[in-house]
């Protein structure tokens, strides 16, 4: 992905980027930019991400993939022009959405409130959180492709910046890149310790690195929702490095 982006940037006649920034999978691409094309990057801001997935992160993605592939409409990926594997993709989205939130954010948003309108079926949704997850799953199907979900989650799981080597050794190639690593305390999908691992490796590689951990109850979704605090901090950071 990053190699393709670099080709595009060069095609556009851009020799150097002030900064590459991104969260989650975008954060992984930021790290790859710094490691593979350090001469093109002045600063890197990876947010809520990891240098590689943990077994738990891989496990969550695998459950989502299995939900899609278990849908009889998936047909080994050959469903185009026919019925799409909507049920499997909806379940995958529901699983994913749970990991994007936090225990606190779900309690604040739903509590144990029951639905006002309930179907008279034994296993129909009783609680608001159940109805919300089904709503998110059903809406996701309208705008996303099941095979794309499979490939993207596989790309996430296979990403390993160090690729069997030591992370600090790989990051030494980015000796002239400045790093700002951002994490969120309630993010249990990409917990703060993974961001701290990146910071530690940067320091061991003797890179210029800053770390900012934001207190938020939104879980992994925080990198999309805590816009004002991120904007304030990133804006000041970019202003400082652009003036140097």
Q: Name the residue with higher pLDDT: 243 or 100.
A: 100
The reply to whether 187 belongs to the active site is yes
14 pLDDT higher than 80: yes
Mean pLDDT computed over 47-70: 98
Sign of CA dihedral 92, 93, 95, 96: positive
* CA–centroid distance for 147 within its chain: 18
Q: Which band of pLDDT confidence, cut at 50, 70 and 90, is reported for residue 57?
A: very high
Are the CB atoms for 219 and 186 separated by under 8 Å?
yes
Q: Which band of pLDDT confidence, cut at 50, 70 and 90, is reported for residue 242?
A: confident
- Contacts of residue 121, Cβ cutoff 8 Å, sequence gap at least 6: none
Region class of 83: left (phi > 0), else alpha (psi between -120 and 50), else beta: beta
Q: Which band of pLDDT confidence, cut at 50, 70 and 90, is reported for residue 164?
A: confident
Structure-token match 């700002």, residue found: 180
User: Any idea what the Cα angle at residue 187 is, between residues 182 and 188, rounded to 5°?
Assistant: 135
The model's pLDDT over 133-159, given as tens digits with 9 standing for 90+, comes to 999 999 999 999 999 999 999 999 999
Please report, rounded to a whole number, the percentage of residues in the chain having pLDDT higher than 90: 91
- What pLDDT does residue 125 have? 80
Choice among 24, 102, 105, 216 that is catalytic: 24
Are the CB atoms for 157 and 58 separated by under 8 Å?
yes
Measuring CA to CA, how many Å separate 128 from each of 118, 198, 220?
Answer: 10, 38, 21
Residue 172: strand, helix, or coil: helix
Give the CATH architecture of domain 2-52+159-242: 3-Layer(aba) Sandwich (3.40)
The reply to whether 176 belongs to the active site is no
Domain boundaries, the chain: 2-52+159-242, 55-156
Choice among 48, 195, 220, 221 that is catalytic: 220
Mean pLDDT computed over 179-199: 98
Choice among 71, 187, 216, 221 that is catalytic: 187
- What pLDDT does residue 119 have? 64
Mean pLDDT computed over 211-231: 95
Q: What is the CA radius of gyration of the chain?
A: 20
167 pLDDT higher than 90: yes
117 pLDDT higher than 80: no
Q: Which band of pLDDT confidence, cut at 50, 70 and 90, is reported for residue 97?
A: very high
124 pLDDT higher than 90: no
The reply to whether 97 belongs to the active site is no
- Please, what is the angle between helix 86-100 and helix 128-143, to 10°? 120
55-156 is a CATH 1.20.120.520 domain: no
- What pLDDT does residue 90 have? 98
Please report, rounded to a whole number, the percentage of residues in the chain having pLDDT higher than 70: 98
């Amino acid at each position: 992905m990053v190699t393709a982006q670099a080709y595009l940037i060069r095609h556009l006649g851009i020799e150097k980027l002030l900064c590459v920034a991104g969260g989650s999978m975008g954060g992984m691409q930021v790290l790859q930019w710094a490691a593979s094309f350090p001469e093109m990057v002045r600063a890197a801001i990876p947010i809520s991400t990891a240098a590689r997935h943990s077994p738990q992160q891989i496990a969550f993605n695998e459950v989502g993939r299995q939900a899609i592939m278990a849908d009889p409409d998936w047909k080994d990926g050959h469903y185009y022009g026919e019925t799409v594997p909507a049920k499997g993709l909806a379940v995958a989205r529901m699983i994913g959405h749970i990991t994007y939130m936090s225990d606190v954010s779900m309690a604040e948003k739903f509590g144990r409130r029951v639905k006002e309108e309930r179907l008279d079926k034994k296993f129909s949704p009783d609680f608001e959180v159940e109805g919300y997850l089904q709503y998110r799953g059903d809406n996701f199907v309208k705008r996303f492709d099941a095979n794309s979900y499979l490939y993207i989650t596989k790309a996430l799981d296979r990403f390993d910046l160090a690729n069997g080597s030591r992370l600090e050794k790989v990051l030494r190639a980015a000796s002239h890149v400045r790093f700002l690593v951002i994490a969120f305390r309630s993010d249990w999908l990409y917990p703060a310790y993974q961001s701290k691992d990146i910071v530690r490796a940067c320091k061991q590689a003797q890179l210029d690195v800053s770390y900012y951990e934001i207190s938020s109850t939104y879980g992994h979704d925080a990198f999309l929702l805590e816009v004002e605090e991120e904007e304030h901090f990133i804006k000041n950071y970019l202003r400082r490095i652009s003036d140097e």
